Amino acid sequence: MKRVHCEVYGKVQSTGFRDFCWRCSRKTGVSGWVSNDLSDHHHVVLEVQGEEAQMEKFFSLLQKGDGRCQVDSIMKSEMPADPDEKEFQARHRF
């Protein structure tokens, strides 16, 4: 099990990106959360965890986008996994 904290940059606010992340989590089985960063309108924060293959698929889907959002870059840093976390949440603010 792996967990990463991410800062996602691009056209990711006011595009339904948080809901898109939630849909990607449902397709891949990862858990975690996503939230807008209110200090930067081109920046979203998320934490995601899962097995390596699940994480790769999740980030691949994010990079492709859904036609409304566009990911320019993702800065990732590993962190300890949360064994109690079972779902993915789209939060309102970070």
In the set 3, 18, 68, 91, the catalytic residue is 18
The C-alpha atoms of residue 68 and residue 77 are separated, in whole angstroms, by: 26
The answer to whether residue 36 is catalytic is: yes
The C-alpha atoms of residue 24 and residue 58 are separated, in whole angstroms, by: 6
C-alpha dist (Å) from residue 47 to 8, 17, 34, 41, 94? 11, 14, 7, 18, 11
Beta bridge mates, 89 = 33
In the set 3, 23, 26, 36, the catalytic residue is 36
The answer to whether residue 93 is catalytic is: no
The C-alpha atoms of residue 87 and residue 75 are separated, in whole angstroms, by: 22
Q: What are the catalytic residues?
A: 18, 36
